[in-house]
Amino acid sequence: MVTSLLVIVVLLALIFDFINGFHDAANSIATVVSTKVLTPFQAVLWAAAFNFLAFFLIKDHKVANTVAKTVHEEFITMHVVLAGLIAAITWNLITWWFGIPSSSSHTLIGGFAGAGMTNALFMGRGALESINSHYVTEILLYIVLAPFIGLFIAYVITILILHIFKNSRPASAERWFKGAQLVSSAGLSFAHGGNDAQKVMGIIYVALVASNVITNTSEMPEWIPLACYSAIAFGTMSGGWKIVKTMGSKITKVTPLEGVAAETAGAITLFMTERLAIPVSTTHTITGSIIGVGLTKRVSAVRWGVTINLLWAWIITIPISALVAAAIFTLIHFIK
């Protein structure tokens, strides 16, 4: 049954997706802007186009399914979804305002899980009973693994490129890599859209199931992917310049060659994890890739002070989002 609460939840989910777009736009465009291959305006249009292209090419929504099953169905209510979304939006806006490239993915999952666990407690059950340990373990594991996978792939790609082009004239090589960066940034934007939009699809799907509009065995309605890919693309078009500065220059200085390596490594990692149905963080992945590029020069080329601050933001994202969601769900529980 379509209710006003369901409409509000779907709209909030799409708002979160829009915020995800401008919050994570820096992941796709930071290096291509910092190397001056594209202007910021050109870069966001380029990234948004490839965010949306994923709608036409990705049809099996494995990541959405993982997110939808993070909390066991018996503990999911519309108020659980509502509290999780409000918490995720709140933390995303706070980190965007302060220019902290935290994970929108983990914000959403943390909020959803925190609300589900709180609902379990109100039902007289254990908080952890509400959590699907199989999916949550995979997500937590790849919080650690994804940046290191990106780092390793970026390091290897950079070394290979340097070896292949060691005898090339610097000026002509740089022109070639500036052109190649258009391709690598497009691949990263496509992977970003394909991975991140699916997380919101999973949330909208469980909201429809909780409202008895569809059953948990129903196919995902086609309007959900269309709406989610559109929202994240429009969000990317609105930019996210505070985070671009951090990602594009504060971690390590990036040349066109290194931009190609970092973006290619990030895209490969995201494609791989999307096939494995694991909702990893685009932010974590591309940051690891940029660090991997920096390490090919020397360890000191990476600004470790900035990187450590980012790591702290990543560590606290899920618990803070869960706590905010728990507080919001508790408030809803007592006033409804």
Q: What's the rounded Cα separation, in Å, for the pair 269 and 292? A: 13
Judge whether 321 lies within some domain.
yes
- Predicted confidence at residue 166, as pLDDT, reads 82
Judge whether 335 lies within some domain.
no
DSSP 60: -
Of 236, 194, 240, 292, whose CA–CA distance to 100 is shortest?
240
Q: What's the rounded Cα separation, in Å, for the pair 29 and 146? A: 19
Q: What is the pLDDT of residues 206-242, one digit of tens each?
A: 999 999 999 988 999 999 999 999 999 998 887 655 4
Judge whether 165 lies within some domain.
yes
Torsion over CA: 26, 91, 103, 6 (sign): negative
**Number of domains within the chain:** 1
- Predicted confidence at residue 154, as pLDDT, reads 95
Distances 125 to 109, 120, 132, 159, 209 between C-alpha atoms, Å = 21, 5, 14, 53, 22
Query: Which backbone phi and psi does 98 adopt, to 5 degrees?
Result: -90, 5
Of 248, 200, 247, 238, whose CA–CA distance to 101 is shortest?
247
Q: What is the pLDDT of residues 22-32, one digit of tens each?
A: 777 666 677 77
Judge whether 336 lies within some domain.
no
Of 252, 275, 289, whose CA–CA distance to 152 is shortest?
289
- Predicted confidence at residue 308, as pLDDT, reads 66
Residue 247 has pLDDT above 50, yes or no: no
Q: What is the pLDDT of residues 45-90, one digit of tens each?
A: 888 899 999 999 998 899 999 999 999 999 999 999 999 999 999 9
Q: What's the rounded Cα separation, in Å, for the pair 239 and 41? A: 8
Range of the domain at 229: 4-330
Provide the whole-model pTM: 0.89
The lowest-confidence range among 93-102, 103-112, 193-202, 229-238 is: 93-102
- Predicted confidence at residue 248, as pLDDT, reads 44
Half-sphere exposure of 280 (CA within 13 A, CB side): 32
Helix (H, G, I), strand (E, B) or coil at 172: helix
* Whole-number average pLDDT of the chain: 86
Distances 192 to 142, 206, 281 between C-alpha atoms, Å = 16, 22, 9
**Residue 108 · residue 203 · CB < 8 Å:** yes
Q: What's the rounded Cα separation, in Å, for the pair 161 and 156? A: 9
- Percent of the chain exceeding pLDDT 90 equals 51
**Residue 24 · residue 98 · CB < 8 Å:** no
Residue 111 has pLDDT above 60, yes or no: yes
